[in-house]
DNA sequence: CACGTCACCTGCGTGC
DNA sequence: TGCACGCAGGTGACGT
């Protein structure tokens, strides 16, 4: 489930539930989920740490602890679940943090990840792992001007570029397809061929679709469910064979950079350069 | 630098 | 019902 709006939804949901609590202990059920440090160090270092703050950067969820930052990346199938009290780990739990409030109330934070692609970092230097990310698309540094200038510098195909987290941070397959459709741009366009107007439209589309995703609490598809409903408002993603909501042409599915890609052949015309 | 390919994993829907 | 297959919201390591 995890693109920017989904991770943001999770961050907002768990923040009031876990800030101020103490991580009493950690139960690491799949060591492969741990990027850094070693399992032994992780368990020792995380124990006793208070959760001071929760934030998000790109698709990373960040728990700011007393002495470390705990970074969680959900990749394709990860999720975060909170449980009251103490219960046995569930089938796809990869890490469970046992929490306690000052007055002794117990709860758990579970990192659930069926496909085991997700990763966890416990570090004093988060910039080591977050430093190469591009701008946050909903923050000030991401302006139409910035987008145009930086598209000009890239020869790459538009969709793979938008998926590149070092270019812009937070877009994934769904929100990229949706953005391109709103901006009436073809995923196979060359980045440096966009006009200032097209760049401005793309900028606006990216921001509006991410805001819509957040407003709808993200998209919940397949067996991963978080209560969001953006999946009911997709314009093109997963809608191949259905009519375009704008012009009613039949939406087509193609492959771009090994990713399923959805376009309206009438709205998104590939200009040959 | 840009691009393609593969690897990492499990689960679900489809079609035979 | 069983089974093979294709596909999935992401990224990183290669090779050309």
Per-residue pLDDT tens for A94-138?
999 999 999 999 999 999 999 999 999 999 999 999 999 999 999
Give mean pLDDT, residues A241-263. Answer: 96
Note the pLDDT of residue A220: 83
Per DSSP, what are the bridge partners of residue A111?
A80, A95
Q: Note if A200 is an active site residue.
A: no
Question: Is the C-beta of residue A133 closer than 7 Å to nucleic acid chain C?
Answer: no
pLDDT score of A270 more than 90: yes
Q: CA A184: distance to chain centroid?
A: 23
Using a pLDDT cut of 70, give the percent of chain A over it. Answer: 97
Residue nearest to nucleotide C11 (CA to C1'): A75
Q: Note if A94 is an active site residue.
A: no
Distance in angstroms: CA A68, C1' B13: 42
Give mean pLDDT, residues A36-47. Answer: 98
Give mean pLDDT, residues A192-202. Answer: 97
Distance in angstroms (rounded) separating the CA atoms of residues A161 and A56: 22
User: Dmax of chain A from CA atoms?
Assistant: 66
pLDDT score of A223 more than 80: no
Distance in angstroms: CA A100, C1' C10: 32
pLDDT score of A222 more than 80: no
Please write the tens of the pLDDT for every residue from A70-94: 999 999 999 999 999 999 999 999 9
Distance in angstroms (rounded) separating the CA atoms of residues A75 and A72: 9
pLDDT score of A224 more than 60: no
- Residues 91-120/A with CB within 7 Å of nucleic chain C are 115, 117
pTM of the full structure: 0.97
Distance in angstroms: CA A260, C1' C7: 9
Q: Note if A259 is an active site residue.
A: yes
């Amino acid at each position: 489930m995890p693109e920017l709006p989904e991770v943001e939804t999770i961050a907002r949901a768990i923040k009031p539930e876990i800030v101020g609590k103490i991580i009493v202990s950690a139960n690491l059920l799949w060591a492969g989920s741990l990027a850094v440090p070693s399992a032994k160090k992780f368990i020792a270092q995380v124990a006793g740490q208070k959760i001071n703050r929760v934030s998000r950067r790109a698709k990373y969820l960040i728990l700011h602890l007393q002495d470390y930052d705990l970074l969680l990346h959900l990749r394709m199938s990860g999720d975060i679940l909170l449980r009251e009290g103490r219960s046995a780990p569930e089938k796809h739990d990869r890490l469970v943090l046992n929490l306690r409030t000052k007055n002794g109330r117990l709860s758990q934070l579970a990192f659930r990840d069926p496909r085991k692609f997700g990763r966890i970092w416990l570090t004093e230097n988060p910039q080591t792992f977050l430093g190469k990310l591009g701008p946050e698309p909903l923050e000030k540094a991401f302006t139409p001007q910035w987008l145009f200038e930086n598209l000009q510098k890239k020869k790459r195909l538009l969709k793979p570029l938008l998926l590149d987290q070092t270019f812009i941070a937070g877009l994934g397959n769904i929100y990229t397809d949706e953005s391109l459709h709103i901006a009436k741009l073809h995923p196979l366009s060359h980045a440096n061929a966009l006009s200032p107007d097209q760049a401005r439209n793309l900028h606006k589309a990216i921001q509006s679709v991410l805001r819509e995703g957040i407003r709808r609490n993200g998209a919940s598809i397949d067996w991963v469910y978080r209560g969001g409903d953006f999946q009911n408002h997709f314009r093109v993603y997963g809608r191949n064979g259905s009519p375009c909501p704008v012009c009613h042409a039949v939406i087509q599915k193609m492959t771009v950079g090994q990713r399923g890609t959805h376009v309206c052949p009438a709205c998104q015309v590939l200009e040959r350069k």
